[in-house]
């Protein structure tokens, strides 16, 4: 038995979260057994008491588009459309045969590095995503097994599967965009994903569950999408597919003669409550599309699709949901993701709240509470898990305590508003998953972050250099990634 005391506890009150001051949470056997005011009664023999002090103890954060890679936004979130084309695989590179940048062991290290980052920012449930840019094609069965073992070693709750695709965005010698198709590679990828899902089920690990992770709708053939839908029904698993992410996606599907994104998914049998859609931004009513209708939002709601909103990352790439408040009012389930480094949902939530203020011209259109719900119970709903995302008896003991006593965060008012306005995810004091402490005093037990960071830097430098080999003009990294200011 573990008894946790905190000045502020975000407890579940039946239909919503409620703040409990000077609260107490008791954990036994990986689940929460009691939530209430601090008691003076003597604990049962063997009970360990943890005093968290000036902290907000809340449900562990759920990140459904969680970076499982080395930071790529440093390289690709600036420079405009031409820069994006410069970083896309060239047809010359594809014709020569794509290559892995990292070995299998190095990829496993990258996953471990990313998972430690998630834990250090208060994430307790993750659905990882890694950039296929640095792989020969996408992810493999063996790489997914390695990922599962890294997650298990750290105690992170994960929804896992190898990514797969039947096409990849490419640029011709003249700089124009196209898609390079390899349907056989796509079928092999789905077969690997199904094989992995069955393997993971046989492992009987309560923290690890399978999910199908096709890449982007415009790089999936209709046949592979339909096969994915059938596999998801057969395995009874969720599917996460990046869709409604950009205007280029709609243009690419139109060029392929396939129609709008949601029609593509509907024909394939994917438009339903199994589906999670990052980022769900460029709907028909979005200003970038200008279709003059609002049918897309209605279709998402009618089919009980969940959108995985990544507000900070979307802004880095020049787009924004229009709008969180409108989606929420329509009844859409909105979960959260990070999708880039740092995997800081606290920063993401604060950014989302402030963006909503700018979009509406009001300060009350969206509140911090709305975004906390998205990061907890809405994420749990997307997964079909009523035992996650809340502090209530019977729920999984997935908890995170954010410190509120750092002088750099200023004074304390409401703990939720103070955390989002003045803090970051780096304020994690303690984190627990299924009753196991995975972060203590801001550290992951057994992990030496110095060597971890040093090796990650080495691999990042190699990843950066590898872009030159894929560039249609063979430009060196220093030309592809110029400094913010000229070097002295």
Q: Could you read off the pLDDT tens digit of each residue along the chain, which spans 488 residues?
A: 999 999 999 999 999 999 999 999 999 999 999 999 998 888 888 899 999 999 999 999 999 999 999 988 899 988 888 888 889 999 999 999 999 999 999 999 999 999 999 999 999 999 999 888 899 999 999 999 999 999 999 999 999 999 999 999 999 999 899 999 999 999 999 999 999 999 999 999 999 999 999 999 999 999 999 999 999 999 999 999 999 999 989 999 999 999 999 999 999 999 999 999 999 999 999 999 987 788 999 999 999 999 999 999 999 999 999 999 999 999 999 999 999 999 999 999 999 999 999 999 999 999 999 999 999 999 999 999 999 999 999 999 999 999 999 999 999 999 999 999 999 999 999 999 999 999 999 999 999 999 999 999 999 999 999 999 999 999 999 999 999 999 99
Containing structural domain, residue 15: 1-59+389-447
367 and 414 in a single domain? The answer is: no
- Please spell the DSSP secondary structure of 307-361, one letter per residue: EEE-HHHHHHTT---S-HHHHHHHT-EEEE---SSS--HHHHHHHHHHHHHHHHT
Cα pseudo-dihedral 444, 449, 455, 457, rounded to 10: 110
Find out whether 338 and 128 touch, Cβ atoms under 8 Å.
no
Confidence (pLDDT) at 416 = 98
Helices 222-235, 261-268: axis angle to 10 degrees equals 50
Reported pTM: 0.97
132 and 268 in a single domain? The answer is: yes
- Specify whether the backbone of 214 is left (phi greater than 0), alpha (psi in -120 to 50) or beta: beta
Position 475 in a domain: no
357 and 443 in a single domain? The answer is: no
27 and 127 in a single domain? The answer is: no
If we measure between CA atoms, which residue out of 100, 80, 94, 73 comes closest to residue 471? 94
Query: Of 370, 387, 404, which residue sits at a domain end?
Result: 387
Query: Of 369, 387, 405, which residue sits at a domain end?
Result: 387
53 and 67 in a single domain? The answer is: no
Position 249 in a domain: yes
Q: Rounded distance, CA 330 to CA 164, Å? A: 32
CA triplet 242, 347, 335: central angle to 5 degrees? 40
84 and 2 in a single domain? The answer is: no
3-state helix, strand, coil in the chain (%, to 5): 40, 25, 35
Position 468 in a domain: no
370 and 397 in a single domain? The answer is: no
28 and 128 in a single domain? The answer is: no
Q: Rounded distance, CA 456 to CA 411, Å? A: 36
25 and 72 in a single domain? The answer is: no
Domain count, the chain: 2
316: CATH: 3.20.20.140
394 and 372 in a single domain? The answer is: no
Position 169 in a domain: yes
Position 80 in a domain: yes
423 and 285 in a single domain? The answer is: no
Position 377 in a domain: yes
Position 139 in a domain: yes
20: CATH: 2.30.40.10
Neighbours of 269 (CB within 10 A): 16
Coil, strand, or helix at residue 47?
coil
Query: Structure tokens of 131?
Result: 């950039």
Query: Of 387, 407, 439, which residue sits at a domain end?
Result: 387
Sign of the four-CA dihedral 223, 224, 229, 231: positive
Confidence (pLDDT) at 207 = 98
Position 431 in a domain: yes
Write b or e for each residue in 69-78: b if 16 or more Cβ atoms lie within 10 A of its Cβ, otherwise e. bbbbbebbbe
Query: Structure tokens of 137?
Result: 């094609």
79 and 10 in a single domain? The answer is: no
């Amino acid at each position: 038995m573990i008894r946790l005391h905190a000045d502020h506890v975000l407890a579940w009150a039946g239909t919503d979260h409620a703040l409990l001051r000077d609260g107490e949470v008791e954990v036994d056997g990986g689940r929460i057994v009691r939530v209430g005011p601090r008691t003076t009664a003597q604990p049962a023999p063997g009970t360990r008491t943890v005093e968290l002090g000036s902290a907000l103890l809340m449900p562990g954060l759920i990140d459904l588009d969680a970076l499982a890679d080395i930071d790529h936004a440093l390289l690709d979130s600036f420079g405009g459309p031409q820069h994006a084309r410069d970083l896309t695989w060239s047809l010359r590179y594809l014709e020569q045969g794509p290559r892995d940048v990292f070995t299998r062991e190095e990829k496993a290290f990258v996953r471990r590095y990313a998972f430690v980052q998630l834990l250090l920012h208060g994430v307790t449930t993750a659905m990882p995503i890694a950039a296929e840019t640095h792989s020969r094609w996408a992810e493999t069965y063996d790489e997914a097994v390695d990922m599962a073992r890294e997650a298990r070693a750290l105690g992170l709750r994960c929804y896992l599967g190898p990514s797969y695709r039947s096409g990849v965005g490419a640029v011709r010698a003249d700089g124009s965009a196209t898609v390079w198709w390899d349907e056989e590679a796509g079928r092999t990828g789905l077969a690997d994903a199904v094989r992995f899902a069955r393997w993971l089920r046989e492992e009987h690990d309560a923290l690890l569950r399978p999910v199908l992770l096709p890449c982007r709708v415009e790089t999936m053939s209709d046949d592979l999408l339909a096969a994915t839908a059938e596999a998801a029904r057969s395995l009874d698993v969720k599917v996460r597919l990046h869709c409604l992410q950009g205007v280029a996606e709609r243009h690419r599907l139109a060029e392929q003669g396939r129609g709008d994104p949601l029609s593509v998914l509907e024909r394939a049998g994917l438009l339903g409550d199994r589906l999670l859609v990052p980022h769900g931004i460029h709907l028909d009513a979005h200003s970038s599309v200008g279709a003059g209708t609002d049918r897309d939002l209605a279709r998402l709601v009618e089919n009980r699709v969940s959108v995985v909103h990544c507000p900070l990352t979307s802004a880095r790439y020049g787009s924004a949901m229009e709008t969180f408040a409108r989606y929420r009012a329509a009844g859409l389930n909105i979960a959260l993701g990070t999708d880039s480094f740092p995997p800081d949902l606290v920063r993401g939530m604060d950014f989302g709240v402030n963006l909503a203020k700018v979009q509406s011209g009001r300060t009350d259109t969206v509140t911090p509470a709305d975004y906390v719900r998205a990061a907890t119970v809405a994420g749990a709903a997307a997964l079909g898990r009523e035992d996650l995302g809340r502090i209530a008896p019977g729920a999984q003991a997935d908890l995170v305590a954010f410190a509120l006593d750092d002088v750099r965060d200023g004074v304390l008012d409401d703990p939720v508003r103070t955390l989002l306005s003045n803090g970051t995810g780096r304020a994690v004091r303690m984190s627990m998953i299924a009753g196991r402490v995975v972060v203590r005093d801001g550290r992951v037990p057994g992990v030496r972050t110095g060597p971890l960071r040093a090796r990650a830097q080495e691999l990042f430098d190699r990843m950066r250099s590898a872009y030159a080999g894929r560039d249609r003009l063979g430009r060196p990294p220093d030309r592809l990634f110029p400094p913010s200011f000229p070097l002295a």
